[in-house]
């Protein structure tokens, strides 16, 4: 069985609340169609985060629909299985599921319970003579038992001993989280609000675990669970080649053959300069070495202080000289404090938090985040704003 695995499309994303990305996603779908024509997979599976938001615009929904129909026309025999991720609205993803089934396309948004039991049929798809697919969408923590329940049911039905593909949209502990903000709580990794599961919480008689949620592509330690990663770069942290994954499964129990197929971006994410430099030097870089390929630009500045108010305008003016460069933001890196210990993040509970003065909270946030003291002008401005809000509240 040959499976084309992708996830984390995030269609409808507007970068920095400003740049529409449909054209770039179209470029991805054009390549996906060519891959399908060339590779003729037995199924295309999409492991969650179809849309960027749980309320995608009508144009975005139409965009996805049109592109899926194009795939259906290309390969009418190939089932298309799409699950909801944590970014998707599970009910929206399923809203037209009945219509889509007519064209061999399966939308699975959420687990459903009937008479105290999960409805299993909506998650189990047989590709006759080839294999089985367990379509598990993003689940709240308390439904994580569904993975094992579905696998058990497939074990029961899989009398021909065909390969089994499990889908999931979750955090697996100890994965590489470079493209994300990851935290650890009580020994568990948390990414994008999803608590991690361990691979050994799940029965391991599947042949391939097609994961979504973590955007950094990687095959996990057991050699058969894989995050295929996002096919379109979504932010400046995702500095790696983007791809979709082709998986070949010979027999149930054999190791999968995994191949990443690179997706060429329409626009690049430029960080200028490549490593943070003081403001003047950074602006010099923009002056003298603008990138030639169109794309998004983040300016990398090394500074202990807040930057002058006209910084952004100066950057924009320099970038306007380039061809198709889209300014996103600047990133400030603080020089290492000379021998000083970094300021510690304060710890207090909600009651203590409520009792605190807003000014103190803001000041503490500022100093621990930026690792520097607030200057007097900023303090005065903050006091004035707090005063104004208080006066408004008493009116
Ligand atoms: Mn995602």
37-84 pLDDT per residue, tens: 999 999 999 999 999 999 999 999 999 999 999 999 999 999 999 999
> Cα(243) to centroid of ligand 1, in Å?
14
> Cα(187) to centroid of ligand 1, in Å?
23
Look up the domain containing 125 and give its range.
2-262
Q: Are residues 49 and 189 in the same domain?
A: yes
Is 342 among the domain residues? Answer: no
β-pairing, 188-191 vs 194-197, is antiparallel
Q: Are residues 232 and 305 in the same domain?
A: no
> Cα(341) to centroid of ligand 1, in Å?
35
Q: Are residues 203 and 251 in the same domain?
A: yes
Q: Are residues 73 and 200 in the same domain?
A: yes
> Cα(302) to centroid of ligand 1, in Å?
30
Closest CA to 64 of 41, 88, 40, 35: 88
> Cα(261) to centroid of ligand 1, in Å?
19
pLDDT of residue 297: 95
Q: Are residues 113 and 41 in the same domain?
A: yes
Q: Do 83 and 8 form a contact (C-beta atoms < 8 A)? A: no
The terminus-to-terminus CA distance of the chain in angstroms comes to 70
Cβ neighbors of 172 (< 8 A, separation 6 or more) are: 196, 197, 198, 199, 211, 214, 220, 225
Distance from C-alpha of 214 to C-alpha of 81, rounded to nearest angstrom: 19
Q: Do 192 and 216 form a contact (C-beta atoms < 8 A)? A: no
Please identify every residue whose CB atom is under 5 Å from ligand 1, which is an ion.
8, 49
154-183 pLDDT tens trace: 999 999 999 999 999 999 998 888 888 878
Q: Do 2 and 41 form a contact (C-beta atoms < 8 A)? A: yes
pLDDT of residue 236: 94
Is 320 among the domain residues? Answer: yes
Q: Do 323 and 345 form a contact (C-beta atoms < 8 A)? A: no
Cβ neighbors of 202 (< 8 A, separation 6 or more) are: 147, 148, 151, 166, 209
Is 48 among the domain residues? Answer: yes
> Cα(380) to centroid of ligand 1, in Å?
41
pLDDT of residue 338: 56
Domain count, the chain: 3
**HSE, side-chain direction, 13 A CA sphere, residue 42:** 19
The mean pLDDT of 226-233, rounded to a whole number, is: 98
Mean per-residue pLDDT of the chain? 92
Cβ neighbors of 7 (< 8 A, separation 6 or more) are: 46, 47, 48, 49, 85, 169, 210, 211, 212, 213, 227, 228, 229, 230
> Cα(110) to centroid of ligand 1, in Å?
17
pLDDT of residue 322: 78
> Cα(294) to centroid of ligand 1, in Å?
25
Is 151 among the domain residues? Answer: yes
pLDDT of residue 89: 96
Q: Are residues 245 and 299 in the same domain?
A: no
Q: Are residues 21 and 98 in the same domain?
A: yes
How many CB atoms sit inside 10 A of residue 329's CB?
A: 14
> Cα(248) to centroid of ligand 1, in Å?
24
Closest CA to 244 of 256, 267, 260: 260
CATH number reported for the structural domain that contains residue 14 in this entry: 3.60.21.10
């Amino acid at each position: 069985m040959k499976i084309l695995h992708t996830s984390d499309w995030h269609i409808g994303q507007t970068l920095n609340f400003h740049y529409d990305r449909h054209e770039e996603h179209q470029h991805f779908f054009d390549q996906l169609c060519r891959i399908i024509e060339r590779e003729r997979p037995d199924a295309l599976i999409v492991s969650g985060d179809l849309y960027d938001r749980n309320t995608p615009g009508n144009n975005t929904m139409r965009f996805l629909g049109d592109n899926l129909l194009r795939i259906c026309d290309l390969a009418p025999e190939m089932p298309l299985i799409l699950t909801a991720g944590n970014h998707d609205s599970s009910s929206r993803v399923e809203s037209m599921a009945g219509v889509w089934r007519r064209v061999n396309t399966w939308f699975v948004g959420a687990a459903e319970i009937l008479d105290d039991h999960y409805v299993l049929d909506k998650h189990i798809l047989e590709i006759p003579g080839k294999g089985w697919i367990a379509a598990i969408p993003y689940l709240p923590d308390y439904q994580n038992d569904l993975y094992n329940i579905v696998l058990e049911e497939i074990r029961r039905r899989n009398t021909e001993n065909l390969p089994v593909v499990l889908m999931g949209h979750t955090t697996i502990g100890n994965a590489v989280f470079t493209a994300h903000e990851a935290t650890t709580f009580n020994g568990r990794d948390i990414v994008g609000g999803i608590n991690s599961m361990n691979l050994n919480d799940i029965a391991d008689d599947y042949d391939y675990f097609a994961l979504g949620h973590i955007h950094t592509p990687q095959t996990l330690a057991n050699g058969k669970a894989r995050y295929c990663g996002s096919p379109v770069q979504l932010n400046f942290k995702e500095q790696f080649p983007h791809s979709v994954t082709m998986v070949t499964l010979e027999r149930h129990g054999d190791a999968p053959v995994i191949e990443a197929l690179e997706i060429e971006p329409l626009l690049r994410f430029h960080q200028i300069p490549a490593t943070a430099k003081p403001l003047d030097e950074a602006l010099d870089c923009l002056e003298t070495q603008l990138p030639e390929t169109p794309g998004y630009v983040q300016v990398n500045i090394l500074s202990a202080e807040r930057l002058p108010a006209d910084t952004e305008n100066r950057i924009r003016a320099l970038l306007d000289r380039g061809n198709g460069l889209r300014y996103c933001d600047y990133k400030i890196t603080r020089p290492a404090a000379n021998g000083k210990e970094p300021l510690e993040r304060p710890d207090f509970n909600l009651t203590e938090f409520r009792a605190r003065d807003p000014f103190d909270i803001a000041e503490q946030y500022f100093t621990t985040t930026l690792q520097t003291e607030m200057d007097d002008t900023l303090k005065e401005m903050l006091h004035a704003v707090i005063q104004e809000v208080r006066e408004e509240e008493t009116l």
